[in-house]
Structure 1
Amino acid sequence: MTAEPDTTINVNSQDLQALGNAGINKADIEKMLHALATDLRSGNEAAVHDQANGLTAAEIEILREGGAYGLDDTFPGALARSRRLAVMRLQLEFKQLQRDSLYASAVAELLGISAARVRQLTNPGNPGLYSFKGARSKAWFPRWQFVESSVIPHLRLVLQTLSPQAHPVTVQQFMTQVNNDLWSSELEENLSPRDWLIAGYPAEPVLSLIRDI
């Protein structure tokens, strides 16, 4: 008699709490696993095997910057799995970013301006606010660009320099993670681009860095 396959996936309570704190629920995880299984069943792995090393040099570099691992393994199956895991991670981070961001109406209330003015400030030709499209093409505004009831200093310069193709998750990580090139001699520590600007330092070092993302 053939034994039934074990369909239970064990996740410890600390992992569940961390995922919950990030706004990632059971349904999100189930969708990601289903997407991965569907991809495997569709035969996409065989298509990846036809490529030299499974990934291009540019793709490998992008995934490395995003924290992907196992990219030095030349076994095509391992590379394919690494890419899928990196994509799953990006999808989860995007969901978390969307849940942490503000609606246009909330931004209007925070800044004390009209909803029409918020829309004007998202004009791609001269942006004064950063937004991205979420579900049903709704605009979302990440919190990193706000401080108290205003925007961070030099935000307009940052947005004018930022590539329109930059992924919202990449932008969020760049603006909020400590950067080794932004050393504050007064505070004796490295700062994130966001904190650097809030602290009153010149924008140019941040602008120089953001050109590369």
Structure 2
Amino acid sequence: MDTERGDEHQPLTPAERQFLLDSGAPPDSFDPAAQARARASLRRRADETRRKASPELTLAQAAGLLGATEAQVTQWAAELDLYSRHTENGLSFPEWQFPHGQRLPGLRPVLRELGPRMHPHSVEGLLAEVPHEELDNLTAVEWLARGSPTEPVVCLAESSHYDM
């Protein structure tokens, strides 16, 4: 891609191609069939990553799990007592926030600190996947689920502003 020329689809010059080859780019990386295979491989890997991510509940499933109405669950999501995201099928709720079939305590101040800017997979990584030294090597979800103070998790969320 050559964005300096203003056309990202313009072919490489022979000098640019040679530079890339001399820099270690494999010769077949310029082959359209190899590029198509690489894109297909990336799509498969992305799909696999999504499948491994935390399962998500629909609005009806979350309401059923919590013994609440869909209106109440929607209100909790609006008030940031639950983490949700909009999908083509409506609201979706990551399962990690329902330890023992209950709402995760202390989630509201954490979600308020994170705000809407963070990608859902980043939120999941920060809160549900990565153990944090500051939380006795627990994930934020594990920390909050055991009734520990919310403030250290809020501090982690605040520090995530600088990691983006």
* TM-score of the two chains, using structure 2 as the length reference: 0.66
Whole-angstrom CA distance in 2 between matches of 1:47 and 1:95 = 35
Structure 1 residue 207, shift from structure 2 partner: 0.4
Residue correspondence of structure 1 range 154-193 to structure 2 within 5 A: 154-176=106-128, 177-183=130-136, 190-193=137-140
Residue correspondence of structure 1 range 1-213 to structure 2 within 5 A: 46-47=1-2, 50=4, 92-94=48-50, 96-97=52-53, 100-123=55-78, 126-134=79-87, 136=88, 138-176=90-128, 177-183=130-136, 190-213=137-160
Whole-angstrom CA distance in 1 between matches of 2:58 and 2:99 = 16
Whole-angstrom CA distance in 2 between matches of 1:110 and 1:195 = 19
Which string of whole-angstrom CA distances, capped at 9 and with x for unpartnered residues, describes residues 96-154 of structure 1?
Answer: 437x110110100111100111111221xx221111123x2522100111111211110
Secondary structure at the aligned position of 1:148 is classed as helix
Match of 1:109, as an amino acid? Answer: G
Whole-angstrom CA distance in 2 between matches of 1:166 and 1:94 = 17
Q: 1:102 touches 1:141 (CA, 8 Å); kept in 2?
A: yes
Q: Which has the higher contact order (CA 8 A, sep 6+)?
A: 2
Whole-angstrom CA distance in 2 between matches of 1:90 and 1:146 = 25
More helix by share: 2
The count of aligned residue pairs is 129
Secondary structure at the aligned position of 1:102 is classed as strand
Larger radius of gyration: 2
Structure 2: unaligned runs, 5 residues or longer: 6-22, 27-34
* TM-score of the two chains, using structure 1 as the length reference: 0.52
Secondary structure at the aligned position of 1:133 is classed as strand
Q: Structure 2 vs 1, CA of residues 168 and 94 (structure 1 numbering), >3 Å: closer, same or farther?
A: farther
Which string of whole-angstrom CA distances, capped at 9 and with x for unpartnered residues, describes residues 38-85 of structure 1?
Answer: xxxxxxxx146x49xxxxxxxxxxxxxxxxxxxxxxx6x79xx9xx8x
Q: 1:90 touches 1:169 (CA, 8 Å); kept in 2?
A: no
